[in-house]
Structure 1
Amino acid sequence: MPYTRDDVAKLIDHTLLKPEATHSQVRELVEEANELGVCSVCVSPSLLPLPFDLGNVKLAVVCGFPSGAHHSDVKAAEAARAVAQGADEVDMVVNLAWAVGNEFEKVEADIRAVREAMPRAVLKAIIESAALSDEQIVAVCEAAKAAGADFVKTSTGFHPSGGASVHAVALMKATVGETMQVKASGGIRDGKFAAELLDAGATRLGLSASAKVLDTL
């Protein structure tokens, strides 16, 4: 279906997760985010608290990023601190070793630990879908649903297996249904692909090239 620029902008997490990102660059990110009319900016937790006003956008922060190979209590503490420092949403990376090892009870417990540490903020579980089989994608989404996450998210954008795909988004949406949302992230560089992901069931897009994507709808 066709999408207007404004409609898609409202679904974007405008993202800057380079490890060398500075407060000056984040300020520019926030200014651009407000100009574009996006939903939020997404940054690293070490940059919090931000020393400037966010304007009309929300603040999303990553947790256990980018590997997910952190102790659950460490992720929980990181998430709680981010919320205390102003984060509205937390994008946590699940433990990928447990996911590929089919240890889905552990995956659920990992997500639940973060959920319980920040009960009121929005929680997105990054499942790194390109590294998983279809069966594992379904199982991890079910674990995230059981643990109380608000979103399942395709990718960090840092894993060598790749980023978002239409197939993964459709499978994730079919699994979580209407009780959760799906965020597509990783490798989204033009409007055509963004529209395909939205058609497949994504309700949020993680983009670092937000202006380019909006310009090519």
Structure 2
Amino acid sequence: MIQSPGREGTCRNRACRPGSRGKTGTFLFGNASDFGKGNKPVNRADLAKIIEHTLLRPTATETDIRNLCTEAVAYGFRAVSINPVWTTLSAKLLQGHDVAIDACIAFPLGASTARMKVEETKDALQNGATEIAMVINIGALKSGYAQYVEKEIATIVKAAAGAPVKVILETSCLNQEEKVAACQMSLRAGATAVKTSTGFGAYGATEEDIRLIRATVGGHLDIKAAGGIRTYGDVVRMLEAGATYVGTSTGVEILNDAPEK
């Protein structure tokens, strides 16, 4: 198990060198390199397959989760994004349906120890999650403990045992150098995707951040735009900037507002 930050040497900027590339991953939705070129879904069915139907507020009830899963099936969303406590129920409701269950780990602060994140990851998967989204240790990254952060991501990837792992950056808390470094760490650590935000930060996904992330990871990682995405226009802008898919709590409204064909 990796040590907590402060118990190993400071590794400031080791992960910030331009040009670092990770291995090509298996993308969750097509080829990530297809995006950022003005592409957008051609119909509502395609649009649904790049939306992760999200309910992460602490006040979510069982009824809310049941409704979330019912909508995910009815509208054909690619995933539900939930807190781990709801994985068992979601797995039961979504059994036999082509909807991924995305459990958010150390959410929304990312300030748990690596050991706690590993156990939360394993528990979520055992209870029915099919994908993991982990919040990085933001304070460790900003303190210069790049090696710790990268090892933590790699440890979660290993604990996920082949399940896709998204790395949540919380871009509103990071400067440009830190965003680039975190993306490069995610590549090297074997993550599947980078996610911009928790939705609880000062702001969510921006076109500028999506472009920066895409320029950093190229076609090697998926990018999930999340936080503040509420309209069909928002989705199109994120895709055109380079996102692979989006997380939103207003997926139903977005689909209803989208062109039918």
Please give the TM-score of this superposition, normalised by the length of structure 2.
Answer: 0.79
1:125 — aligned with what?
A: 167
Compute the RMSD of aligned alpha carbons. Answer: 1.3
Q: How much does 1:22 deviate?
A: 2.1
| Counterpart-to-counterpart distance in 1, 2:146 and 2:255 | 37
Please give the TM-score of this superposition, normalised by the length of structure 1.
Answer: 0.95
| Counterpart-to-counterpart distance in 1, 2:64 and 2:212 | 35
2:244 — aligned with what?
A: 203
What 5-or-longer segments of structure 1 have no aligned partner? Answer: none
1:182 — aligned with what?
A: 223
What residue identity is the alignment partner of 1:165? T
2:196 — aligned with what?
A: 154
SS at match of 1:179: coil
1:61 — aligned with what?
A: 103
Identity of aligned residues (%): 37
Tell me if 1:97 matches 2:139: yes
Number of aligned positions between the proteins: 216
Q: How much does 1:103 deviate?
A: 2.4
Give yes or no for contact 1:150–1:181 (8 Å, CA) kept in 2: yes
| Counterpart-to-counterpart distance in 2, 1:186 and 1:144 | 20
Q: How much does 1:50 deviate?
A: 1.4
| Counterpart-to-counterpart distance in 1, 2:191 and 2:49 | 21
Please say which of residues 70-79 and 130-139 is displaced more in the overlay: 130-139
1:36 — aligned with what?
A: 75
Give yes or no for contact 2:87–2:101 (8 Å, CA) kept in 1: no
Rg: which structure is higher?
2
SS at match of 1:42: strand
The superposition leaves residues 141-184 of structure 1 with CA deviations (integer Å, 9 ceiling, x where unpaired) of 0011111110000000011x210000111111111111111000
2:153 — aligned with what?
A: 111
**Once superposed, which parts of structure 1, at least 4 consecutive aligned residues long, lie more than 4 Å away?**
none
Please point out which of 210, 218, 233 is paired with 1:192: 233
2:23 — aligned with what?
A: none
2:204 — aligned with what?
A: 163
| Counterpart-to-counterpart distance in 2, 1:204 and 1:105 | 29
